Amino acid sequence: MILNKDPDAPHNLSDHFTLLASHEAESAHLHMCSRNSVLPPMTIRAARVEDCEDLLPILQRAQVKYPDLAQLPEWCTPEENFALARVIEHQDDANCVLVASARGELVGFMVCSSGVDLEGVRSTFDLHPYDNLMTAEEYTAEHDAAMRSLEEQGLEPSEENTQSSMRDLKAENRSSNAFAVSMLCMDEPWHMQAREFLQSAFDAFPEKVQ
């Protein structure tokens, strides 16, 4: 690869590479290209109602291309005007809306909620590898209770039987250490950087981080 700089070109490949080392005898040169030089990181912050004018076109494009990730919740009356503004206004300790900006403009948003239907998710997926999305203390207590229940019934406390017994338990006030992403709308090509939302999403629910 030749990294000659063309003064007439608006963007040069050499602008993105930094020379790290050279070996003149072998005509060998080591260059490095940082990720940020070609994919500037997005800035993530909490959404504001005044963002709606810029977010609405992003939502409309996402509803065409990725409809499953762009469904407004029913409670905000999505067919009416200002539905997205109501979602943003609804932010509290259990709900947050994050926006991403790059190169001076908004390029996407994410809607998160800590109100996870734990029983519904547990009945659909095998969550034991993830401690049933409970805190480690609660999972251990429920696991031990399931084993005691099996012993009282004279059943072998195998892992399979224990997991089945845990699914049958109806614990009161069971909490979850999970939150859910209900909407994720990104403009191209920024959707490839959607994972940059994750740290801010976890920061929005510090009680979920063990």
Each residue's pLDDT tens digit, 48-100: 999 999 999 999 999 999 999 999 999 998 888 899 999 999 999 999 999 99
pLDDT at 173: 56
Q: Which of 139 and 195 is assigned the larger pLDDT?
A: 195
| 63 within 8 A of 70, measured Cβ to Cβ | yes
Weakest mean pLDDT among 8-12, 54-58, 117-121: 8-12
Look at residue 168 in the predicted model and tell me its pLDDT: 67
In the numeric block, the tokens 């065409």 are attached to: 64
Given a cut of 80, is residue 114 above it in pLDDT? Answer: yes
User: Residue holding tokens 């509803």?
Assistant: 63
Minimum mean pLDDT among 49-53, 109-113, 117-121: which range? 117-121
Q: Quick check: 8 pLDDT over 60?
A: no
Q: Decide which of 50 and 32 is more confident.
A: 50
Residue 30 has pLDDT above 90, yes or no: no
Q: What is the predicted pLDDT for the residue at 70?
A: 95
Q: Quote the CA–CA distance of 24 and 26 in Å, as a whole number.
A: 5
Interval 128-141: pLDDT, tens? 788 888 888 888 88
Phi first, then psi: give them for residue 115, nearest 5 degrees. -80, 75
Phi and psi at residue 162, to the nearest 5°: -65, -45
Map tokens 């009282």 to a residue. Answer: 152
> Considering the chain, what percentage of its residues have pLDDT values greater than 90?
41
Looking at residue 183, its pLDDT comes to 97
**Cα separation, 190 vs 99, whole angstroms:** 12
Average model confidence (pLDDT) for the chain?
84
More confident call, 159 vs 56: 56
CA–CA dist 180, 114 (Å, integer): 6
Lowest mean pLDDT among 14-23, 69-78, 98-107: 14-23
pLDDT above 90: residue 209 = no
